Amino acid sequence: MTRIIVLFISFLTFLNVLHAQKEDKKMKIVTLGFYNLENLFDTVDDTLINDEEFLPGGARSWTEDKYQEKLANMAYVISQIGILEAKSGLSLLGVSEIENKKVLEDLVIQPTIKDRNYQIIHYNSPDGRGVDVGMLYNPSHFTPLYSRPIPLMIFDDGKRRYTRDVLYVKGLLDQDTVHVMVNHWPSRGGGEITASHRNSGAKLCRNVVDSLFSLNENAKIFVMGDLNDDPTDESLKSHLRAVGNIKDVKKTGMFNPFEDFFRRGQGSNAYRDSWSLFDQIVISRGVTNKKNQGYFYLKANIFNKAFLVQPSGQYKGYPFRTFSFDKYQGGYSDHFPTYVCLVKAI
């Protein structure tokens, strides 16, 4: 009952903010999101990476027509995320499972999002399959000041396991200085032993967080990505030190709004009839504290509209993905996007 009351009060608060924005025009809402694009590969053979399955003659018969349909599908999803709260759409979007910068260049010119003029931040990662992380941003909302890839160093039996870098971006969200880390932590393939790999990802992010806090304890920080762990796993709780109750966020703490979704049985990806919530956006106290100037946290959401859900068959109710094993489905992604809403007085 208490949880229902809290949720109802939060909903009323959100409605009041929207009303103020509409009637008094004294509030502004922006949205920041993350989306795993599920193997957004082009059809060109890159001899430096293992992209053979995503070629016309590869295991998935990846043709130009399928690639163009995939681009259109991804762009349509991006065009819809968060528009109920912010009509101009996402101010910035972290992405994962992209082959290279070229696929993002092809993505941002799709008709459904072309008018937003999304710009790209991308660095090639050392991942064996060639999949990278990246960021799209609306230059009317966000101005990048600095970016770099941060290597995630993981070793098995003394040998480095090459995986995705962490993308760090510092920029101005309107006049707010924000710090964003886009992640795609190592997968769960290999069993429990890989938990230490994701713990390494969390420790790396926490080190960056702590260095930012040492300069400004009110730093506005966003750690987002496909973390391949749930909000209650060791990586998030013990190493990134994220809490699920906004009231428990300490001075140099981190708040994970998606922990509550997960505890209520909601997820962003599914496997063997079980939901996980790997796609998260964790935020610093500087974002949750309404006393700070500029933007502060309003709400979070999983973008799981009906058109993104598998309508029938063995995986009915799952995210409507591009492939089921090697069979082309013509869907979107095996992950739902997630996003957060920020608000400020204007």
**pLDDT tens digits, residue range 54-71?**
999 999 999 999 999 999
- Look at residue 156 and tell me whether its pLDDT is greater than 50: yes
pLDDT of 91-122, one tens digit each? 999 999 999 999 999 999 999 999 999 999 99
Helix (H, G, I), strand (E, B) or coil at 267: coil
Report yes or no: 138 and 117 within 8 Å, Cβ to Cβ.
yes
Q: What is the pLDDT of residue 23?
A: 43
Q: What is the pLDDT of residue 158?
A: 85
- Look at residue 43 and tell me whether its pLDDT is greater than 50: yes
CB count, 10 Å around CB of 242?
28
CA distance readout (Å), 170 to 163, 221, 231, 245, 257: 22, 9, 25, 26, 22
| pTM reported for the whole predicted model | 0.92
Token duo for residue 239: 């190493």
- CATH code: domain 2-345 is 3.60.10.10
Helix (H, G, I), strand (E, B) or coil at 224: strand
